[in-house]
Structure 1
């Protein structure tokens, strides 16, 4: 899981500042929060934006730059300082360290050196992910075919996660043509993915949240564009930047993929920690799972992130058995969601998620336990194989739900 760190840079030289800025924009482990061209203004910038890392390029005026580092050390101790200089003189490096710099990089900065420095600062600052990090658990929800309940799964999982006060959750609808996550939430968004993508360079954290639609569960939604022709306005690079900002802002990012497995979908798949592949117990779906896994296997690391979720278990006597399904797919089933047609139709038509409309229903319990299982896996805690295999079935305990806090806004 990526720990996305906010960065502010100061460099009076437009040339070197632009080069460093472009390098930072290409990294999904950081978010460029602010840039400044004057040493004397940078302390105020850091005070206002509170970045995790401040990069000070000292070549324009080493004395003034190092004095700034001392000031930041005394006034903004939570901001780790990284000094950049074209000089590799030992005395300059020693002065930077004594002034309070955590890292020193030599110009021209190599991307691998920058990544290593950021990783070391992250470890020093947050203890290697042991707590207090701006970690974001990215979950991509994909379908073996259309109509298997991918959006239902994405929306209801996101709302369950958002009902926990410690979580901040955003759902991105990546079905650019026919996405309907907003309908599931009975929401009328003011802005869409296109609006955010086209203004990404001007957005900060507060503006981003105002561009999203907030649901009563606490979930934030970034919907697909309104007009079909606007779908082409979002490029893979745009989406990478949008996901980077969302990862820096929220603890959980849920992405509802389209069924076309487009370039945008693969951007989301690559950025995800977990890929929930939703299928049903029929032969066309299971064969599609096999095809998709073959394609995912051609992209490094993608196949290993896939978790198979079987939806509508118990749909009818014609279903393929779970054992036969696993043999056909060549994959273990990670989770099962029971068939509850009446409840699902009701919540979809009412535009109300399960956690609010039917909190005690078996299907709701399945999503609650799925969210808990993913969270335990995210934190490196042992996941009970029996519980996962059961997929929050009929014997799932109600005590876990009864002890949970009420959804936000209730």
Structure 2
């Protein structure tokens, strides 16, 4: 799990409950696991969902709500209780804290107050950011063209990351028409992205995980729809909701994009912490990288997230040199994956990941090194990024026909 806090809320007052829900749904650091309108049902909600935080509004019945706090504090000690009330009466606050509430929040709630309270709970539960608490890393795997190896990179990167017992990793196949991540993993999923999108408003984290297919490597897969017409129900908004739920459920999310750079792909790209742009050292691929980077620079903050990965490096015939490619692109190559066509065909046809089929192969080591680099968190510094943008922008325009420098 990532250090996103899972929250359950109870408030019999519809207006204040909806206000609290809206505030919670607008926060990236939390996931609203469940909300409830009856105090007597809330212990069952806590038992079924085991949230990190239970938010209890007191105003509908202060005595009953304080009894509820005491009951949950005894039965679910791992759930931090936040009490909320319009009252600032000292006796009420004292009773609430003695019953077991971790924080007392005054309604109407200011977002800064809620954020500060949740940060204190998060620090107590996960530790400070320096001591291991971390949010979900989202890697969007994009291609400079079809056939460059984005799916093989996504699947095998996910399997390598999942080997670490401290990671929980999911793979989302966003190639809605022709995605084949399930083939690479020799999986026949019971549910697809279309099923999850259809029920996303009713899903919680436990139901989501039961909707995914778990591979023997530990990687969870959410595949593309089976029927082509099912992809019509998938929109940018629904993808953002699915990514939000996956983000709350896993430490790492890998998104295998289509090659169309559709609105759905772009929604995933904008949600990503890193964009892995897979290319080869040939002219059509490098021209497409230039074209894509020109477009990415028009979206604030996007180009700085892009890492260029060269696949099939070392292919003997006709490749552009790495030095020439760097000059053309105006930026460094993040990682190189060596050419090993025979091994890749074998693992794809057998539906077995590299770490199982060919653990000592050079391509497997290349994927491991890519994973290590990504987990190292060595984002490009602002100064270096500004230099690459300043130096690279003119190079993009010089290289792309019809563009003015």
Matched, 1:148 2:148: yes
Q: CA RMSD in A?
A: 2.4
The aligned runs of 1:354-373 (5 Å cut-off) are 354-373=354-373
Give the secondary structure class of the aligned counterpart of 2:301. coil
Q: Which residue does 1:202 correspond to in 2?
A: 202
Q: Which residue does 2:311 correspond to in 1?
A: 311
Q: Which residue does 1:408 correspond to in 2?
A: none
In the aligned structure 1, how far is the partner of 2:318 from the partner of 2:311? Answer: 15
Give the deviation of 1:190 after TM superposition.
Answer: 1.7
C-alpha distance 146-80 of structure 1, shift in aligned 2 (>3 A):
same
The aligned runs of 1:360-399 (5 Å cut-off) are 360-377=360-377
Give per-residue Cα distances to partners, 1:12-42, cap 9 Å, x unaligned.
Answer: 1123223322333343322222222222332
In the aligned structure 2, how far is the partner of 1:241 from the partner of 1:112? Answer: 24
Q: Structure 2 regions of 5+ residues with no counterpart? A: 381-405
Matched, 1:193 2:205: no
In the aligned structure 2, how far is the partner of 1:4 from the partner of 1:351? Answer: 33
C-alpha distance 79-134 of structure 1, shift in aligned 2 (>3 A):
farther
Deviates more, 1:128-137 or 1:49-58: 128-137
Give the deviation of 1:352 after TM superposition.
Answer: 1.7
Give per-residue Cα distances to partners, 1:260-290, cap 9 Å, x unaligned.
Answer: 2222222222222221111111222223222
The aligned runs of 1:3-402 (5 Å cut-off) are 3-88=3-88, 92-93=92-93, 95-131=95-131, 133=133, 135-377=135-377
In the aligned structure 2, how far is the partner of 1:2 from the partner of 1:331? Answer: 32
Q: Which residue does 1:394 correspond to in 2?
A: none
C-alpha distance 2-115 of structure 1, shift in aligned 2 (>3 A):
farther
Give per-residue Cα distances to partners, 1:183-207, cap 9 Å, x unaligned.
Answer: 2222222211010111123323332
C-alpha distance 36-203 of structure 1, shift in aligned 2 (>3 A):
same
State how many pairs are aligned: 379
C-alpha distance 205-356 of structure 1, shift in aligned 2 (>3 A):
same
C-alpha distance 253-322 of structure 1, shift in aligned 2 (>3 A):
same
In the aligned structure 1, how far is the partner of 2:314 from the partner of 2:124? Answer: 50
Are the equivalent residues in 2 in contact too, given 1:281–1:325 (CA < 8 A)?
Answer: yes
Are the equivalent residues in 1 in contact too, given 2:13–2:60 (CA < 8 A)?
Answer: yes
In the aligned structure 2, how far is the partner of 1:240 from the partner of 1:115? Answer: 22
In the aligned structure 2, how far is the partner of 1:112 from the partner of 1:306? Answer: 32
Q: Which residue does 1:393 correspond to in 2?
A: none
Are the equivalent residues in 1 in contact too, given 2:2–2:250 (CA < 8 A)?
Answer: no
Are the equivalent residues in 2 in contact too, given 1:144–1:289 (CA < 8 A)?
Answer: yes
Are the equivalent residues in 1 in contact too, given 2:2–2:248 (CA < 8 A)?
Answer: no
Deviates more, 1:39-48 or 1:307-316: 39-48
Give the deviation of 1:151 after TM superposition.
Answer: 0.7
Q: Structure 1 regions of 5+ residues with no counterpart? A: 378-382, 386-410
Give the deviation of 1:313 after TM superposition.
Answer: 0.5
Give the deviation of 1:97 after TM superposition.
Answer: 4.3
Are the equivalent residues in 2 in contact too, given 1:307–1:333 (CA < 8 A)?
Answer: yes
Q: TM-score, normalised by structure 2?
A: 0.86
C-alpha distance 100-342 of structure 1, shift in aligned 2 (>3 A):
same
In the aligned structure 1, how far is the partner of 2:167 from the partner of 2:238? Answer: 26
In the aligned structure 2, how far is the partner of 1:28 from the partner of 1:324? Answer: 41
Are the equivalent residues in 1 in contact too, given 2:2–2:251 (CA < 8 A)?
Answer: no
In the aligned structure 2, how far is the partner of 1:224 from the partner of 1:87? Answer: 50
